[in-house]
Amino acid sequence: MARLHRALALALAAAIPLGSAAAKPPVEAFSNLPAIRSPGLSPDGKKFAAIQEMNGRPVVAVYTIDSDAPPLAIPSSEWVIWGFQWVSNEKLVIMASQNSRTPDERGQWTLHRTVAISADGSNPVALMGNVEGLANNSSSAHIADIALNDPDHIYVPLYVEVQDRGFALDLFQVDLTTGRGKRVAHGDYDTRDWIMDGKGGVVARIDETKRPPTEHLMVPDGDDWREVAKADVIATGGVNIAGLTDDGAGVVRGTLVDGRFALTRLDLATGKETVLLSDPRYDVAGPIVDEWTGRVIGGVLSSGSYSAKYFDPQHQRRHKALFKAFPNLIVFSISADLARDREIVVTEAPRQPAKYYLVDRATKTASEVGSSYPGLTEADLGEMKPYDYTARDGLLIPAFITLPPGKTPKNLPAVVMPHGGPDSSDGLGFDWWAQFMANRGYVVLQPNYRGSSGYGTAFTEAGLQQWGLKMQDDITDGVMKMIADGIVDPKRVCIVGASYGGYAALAGATLTPDLYACVVSIAGVSDLPKMISHERRMHGSDSGVVSFWISRIGSPTDDSERLRATSPARHADAVKAPVLLMHPENDTTVPIAQSELMAEELEDAGKSVRFVELEGDDHYLQLSATRYRMLTELEAFLAANIGN
């Protein structure tokens, strides 16, 4: 395995100088895409593939484990690779995306392309090229079934235009040698997904009706379909099917149990539901799915640092053994061969970026195969710890604080960094962006304000239609807590965020203008009514997407006064601090027009503003060059406004 590790090191696009406590690591040590991520073993365990960084872009690298042969790199030209899946011992399917303007110039769509390729890099073929409009599909390149008993085909659900009915989600069998797709099942106009048995057979499908948006789990019943369960999309996210149970007679789904998301077993024949995994304090963050069978074998609790729970006692014993082998680290098994003789394990901590190990159960060895950020050492990174506090109305706000390495936590400059979503959360673990700011000398606060997920539905629902109101107060109260504790200098606090976090940064600038010495918004929303209008143009007024955002933000008609009052672009005259706006050119989640509008309003009001367009990237900053530009601009802006 030593030769495998050396080969991996040689495959990196560029060597990064190792950091030290005395000499800060270069921006590239943080901004480069992870040197390795998402490794996955082939079914026979003789190869593994991973997404790696090469020339600033993600590629798929394929390694032969017991061989001195160098890895094979599979690039994607102008498309951005975001995933892959082994479909046999000698073939992979690679998923990539590209953003493109809609024909009527309403906005941008994310197009997806799926390519099958042999493990030696030969015989690449774009899937679905024979069906007009489906080679580059605007729906996600989701594989419904890889059917290991039939290595020449996979099953893919894709939207196709149906005359006089708009688009329907049909199911296709795709030939991996020719790329040709053959329709094997017709979906209704309301169909949203297909559930299969791992052998090419349809078990169920998910339909969605409107007013209110409701998902229905449907199973075949002769020539018709029978409803087994339904769930409100806005309240619970829908029926949330994670996959089949081990016996194939039921499905595992995420649903509410005593106000927390839990995993339950739903019997497809009887509709009887039983709890598989729940926790009295935390939501179950997600399922653990066997990559070969599609069966759900466990779940992950969102307990701040995340922990796995397996249904099978043998799997759970193996998981506990990993914790003993890698003490004081977050540890997960992320891939295994069919026989489970070999598996790939990831370890992580706030001061240790993800490292990957190949575990061989026959030899009882664990060999490191790569580190995601090889240019960073523990000395470069700050201590991250829980920093919960009580909001002004008595609600407990979970939060995390990262302290700059080598500095006494007293009267320091600080950055408060609210997460995006807002239905998401921050937890203990390595965060390249937060650690960059800590390395540069700033305390970083990451509050899980009300509206965040992971702490039960009551906590999430406490943030409904509270943009700029109680959600913003929670962020403000976290800053005041740091000031009261003497950790930060009250005159040197900056608010920095992306997506919803970018909105929160701009709301901080307009609603609490005396609190912040500077403001940074990346891909942030600035005008709430205009944002909802954009979603209506892109998805339709009665779509589930629009209904979801109205539930979170409010109605431009019924709540117009509140939405105007909490839209930063409409209150640029209140801003006192310098503002840095950055926005990816090809953002399909928050249109760049939101930042352009904010820049225009700030300039008209005579405020200090800098607007940076991040060229060629999307909402998720998938290119190294984008991350480098973002961190470089951020570093200079923080140094000028709150630096020592």
The DSSP code sequence of 150-197 is -TTEEEEEEEEEETTTEEEEEEEEEETTT--EEEEEPPPTTEEEEEE-
> Do residues 122 and 115 make contact, with C-beta atoms less than 8 angstroms apart?
no
pLDDT in tens, 1-36: 333 333 333 333 333 343 444 579 999 999 999 999
When pLDDT is cut at 50, 70 and 90, the band that residue 111 belongs to is confident
Q: What percent of the chain has pLDDT over 70?
A: 92
The terminus-to-terminus CA distance of the chain in angstroms comes to 46
For residue 529, say if its preceding peptide bond is cis, omega within 30 degrees of 0. Answer: no
Separation of alpha carbons 434 and 443, rounded Å: 9
Is the pLDDT assigned to residue 336 strictly greater than 70?
yes
Kindly write down the DSSP assignment for every residue of 345-386, as one continuous string: EEEEETTEEEEEEEEETTTTEEEEEEES-TT--GGGS--EEE
pLDDT tens profile 284-295:
989 999 999 999
Tell which wins on pLDDT, 153 or 97: 153
Quickly state the pLDDT bin for 159 (edges 50, 70, 90). confident
pLDDT digits 0-9 by tens, 268-308: 999 999 999 998 888 898 999 999 999 999 999 876 667 88
Separation of alpha carbons 263 and 276, rounded Å: 5
- In 3D space, the residue among 61, 183, 184 whose CA is nearest the CA of residue 130 turns out to be 183
Instruction: Report the alpha-carbon distance of residue 331 to residue 315 in Å, rounded.
Output: 14
Q: What is the pLDDT of residues 350-397, one digit of tens each?
A: 999 999 999 998 898 999 999 999 999 999 999 999 999 999 999 999
Burial class (CB in 10 A: 0-12, 13-18, 19+), 171: buried
Identify the structural domains of the chain with CATH numbers, from first to last: 197-310 (no CATH), 384-527+567-642 (3.40.50.1820)
207 compared with 538, residue with greater pLDDT: 207
pLDDT higher at 343 or 136: 343
Sheet containing strand 80-88, strands side by side: 80-88, 91-101, 108-118, 125-126
Distance CA 548, CA 535 (A): 10
Dihedral sign of CA atoms 257, 261, 263, 267 in order: positive
The backbone region for 348, taken as left when phi is positive above 0, alpha when psi lies in -120 to 50, beta otherwise, is: beta
Whole-prediction pTM: 0.90
Phi/psi of residue 38, nearest 5 degrees: 55, 45
444 contacts 438 by C-beta, under 8 angstroms: yes
Within a 10 A sphere around the Cβ of 329, how many other Cβ atoms?
Answer: 15
With bands split at pLDDT 50, 70 and 90, how would you rate the model's confidence at 188?
confident
Residue 560 · residue 529 · CB < 8 Å: yes
